[in-house]
Amino acid sequence: MSFFIKGKQVNGLKRAKYSKEKSKKRKFPKPAGKSEVITSSEDEDLSKNEVPDVSSEDENETAQEKKLRLAKIYLEEIEKEEKARLERDEIDQSVLSDRLKVDYLKETGKLRLTVADKYKGVYTSKIKTLKCREQRNSITCFCVTSDDRYILSGSKDGIVVKYCLTDHKKVGVIPFIKVNPTDGVVGHSSRILSIAVSTDSKYLVVGDESKDINIWDVNTLKFIKKLSGHKSVITGLCFKKDSHTLYSCSKDRSVKVWSLDEMAYVETLFGHQDAVSSLDTLYRDRVVSCGGRDIRVWKVTEETQLIFNGHIGNIDNVRLVNEENFITAGDDGQICVWSVIRKKPMCVMEKAHGVDSTNGQPYWISAICALLNTDLVASGSHDGFVRLWKLDNNFKTISLLVKIPVEGFINDLSFTSDGKVLIVAVSKEHKFGRWTTVKTAKNCILVMPLVIK
């Protein structure tokens, strides 16, 4: 099978039928007079009077003028952010220039900051434990708002809890409900396996075993809408950066694309041969997903997909390091580092968390994460440690930096955006099942301030 697969071939990316029809109607409208036109009552009232002028500046401006206008708005936003960050009334042009350069490198995937060597450990005395009586069962997933103010966690109880990272207290709960509630309360009625928040902290999306995706307001935790379409459990959710484009994956072997601006389904990406367990995306119209022995990078606008091979076991986790590189891990105990232009992994760390003495098998890596656009990644299992790794030699080698003692299954990991804190979801059992139980562990979230030199 070819490394590059076109959308029209077998197992290629298939767009939704209605999406094609809609685009054709936009490009080739039917000529007036040959089709029946049905008007609303408002249109009829307007036809009797003078038709108002509905033209706007946006419609009259050229493409170049629109680009210039948007660029000015972008510069104004950056200037405001830098003024607030530096607490100054005036900003030197060099500051704006550096910020624009960093933003450009981020979006093109060329920004690679070397920071891993600065990490020496954890301030043990400053570790905070986030736990509440509502979430008594295993914590399966969590997400952090882009401003690092809130954590939203999901559990096998079917409950979502919102914590404040500033004072480390619970500030809200989305409750567990029965399938047919009689009191009008909206919530989840099965265990939660995936959760994500948009970059602007407007939308919170939660996937559970009901096959639906529930959309909530991040600030008020009020229900907004339910998205239906998957045929099995929702296992992964992620937002494209700085947008309301949502990607979801499921045990039904598909990845779906949604637009939360229209609250509508966009298309389905077919090709996986087994249940899809994880996915990730950044700024481009590109998403990477994994499940079973499959790893695929979907180029959504080009309608193509790339297939990668390397693991000897099931692949459960995938995370992008930047736009060009990503990491994967699974039950074979391997951490693999990939480039989107290479079919085989750039480097492999075998038995990354050691070997389980009870069965002689490598410890199952249950969570991984990366500090975006840097050489720092983290991984977790149930061997008693969270490990920090350095990607060196242009991502061709991986080496261990720090071992942080944590007892229990590590079901999710994330760095804050500034890289100063590592957040860990710890539980007594794996998020997908109860094959092994660590009875002495606590179901909680650990907020770990990192020692950075």
Domains and CATH numbers, the chain: 116-452 (2.130.10.10)
Looking at residue 436, its pLDDT comes to 87
Q: Closest Cα to residue 280, out of 235, 229, 314?
A: 235
For residues 74 and 63, what is the distance between their CA atoms, to the nearest angstrom? 16
SS3 of residue 394 by DSSP = coil
Q: Are 318 and 288 in contact (CB under 8 A)?
A: yes
Looking at residue 12, its pLDDT comes to 41
For residues 404 and 35, what is the distance between their CA atoms, to the nearest angstrom? 70
Find where tokens 């389980």 sit.
356
Residue 91 structure tokens = 């900003």
pTM, two decimal places: 0.79
For residues 100 and 383, what is the distance between their CA atoms, to the nearest angstrom? 43
Looking at residue 76, its pLDDT comes to 73
Bridge partners (DSSP) listed for residue 164: 150, 169
Find where tokens 């994330």 sit.
414
For residues 398 and 379, what is the distance between their CA atoms, to the nearest angstrom? 12
Bridge partners (DSSP) listed for residue 203: 217
Q: Would you give the DSSP letter of residue 188?
A: B
Q: Are 257 and 247 in contact (CB under 8 A)?
A: yes
Q: Closest Cα to residue 337, out of 402, 396, 414, 387?
A: 396
Residue 177 structure tokens = 């409900």
Q: Please, which contacts does 209-216 make with residues 24 or more away whose CB atoms are closer than 8 Å?
A: 209/233, 209/234, 211/250, 213/237, 213/246, 213/248, 213/258, 214/188, 215/260, 215/263, 216/160, 216/174
For residues 122 and 344, what is the distance between their CA atoms, to the nearest angstrom? 34
Within a 10 A sphere around the Cβ of 347, how many other Cβ atoms? 17
- Tens digit of pLDDT per residue, the chain (453 long)? 334 444 444 344 444 444 444 444 334 344 343 333 333 333 444 344 444 443 444 557 787 777 777 777 777 776 677 666 665 555 566 666 666 666 666 666 667 789 999 999 999 999 999 999 989 999 999 999 999 999 999 999 999 999 999 999 999 999 998 775 555 668 888 999 999 999 999 999 999 998 999 999 999 999 999 999 999 999 999 999 999 999 999 999 999 999 999 999 999 999 999 999 999 999 999 999 998 888 999 999 999 999 998 888 899 999 999 999 999 999 999 999 999 999 999 999 999 999 998 889 999 999 999 999 999 999 999 999 999 999 999 999 999 999 999 999 999 999 999 999 999 999 999 998 888 899 999 999 999 999 998
Looking at residue 180, its pLDDT comes to 58
For residues 396 and 360, what is the distance between their CA atoms, to the nearest angstrom? 28
Crossing angle of the two packed helices 63-86 and 93-108, in degrees rounded to 10 = 110
Sign of CA dihedral 154, 369, 81, 450: positive
Q: Closest Cα to residue 271, out of 300, 242, 229, 246?
A: 300
Looking at residue 18, its pLDDT comes to 40
For residues 446 and 403, what is the distance between their CA atoms, to the nearest angstrom? 15
Contacts of 181 (CB under 8 A, 6+ apart): 187
Find where tokens 């054709």 sit.
24
Looking at residue 59, its pLDDT comes to 57
Phi, psi angle pair for 188, to nearest 5°: -110, 145
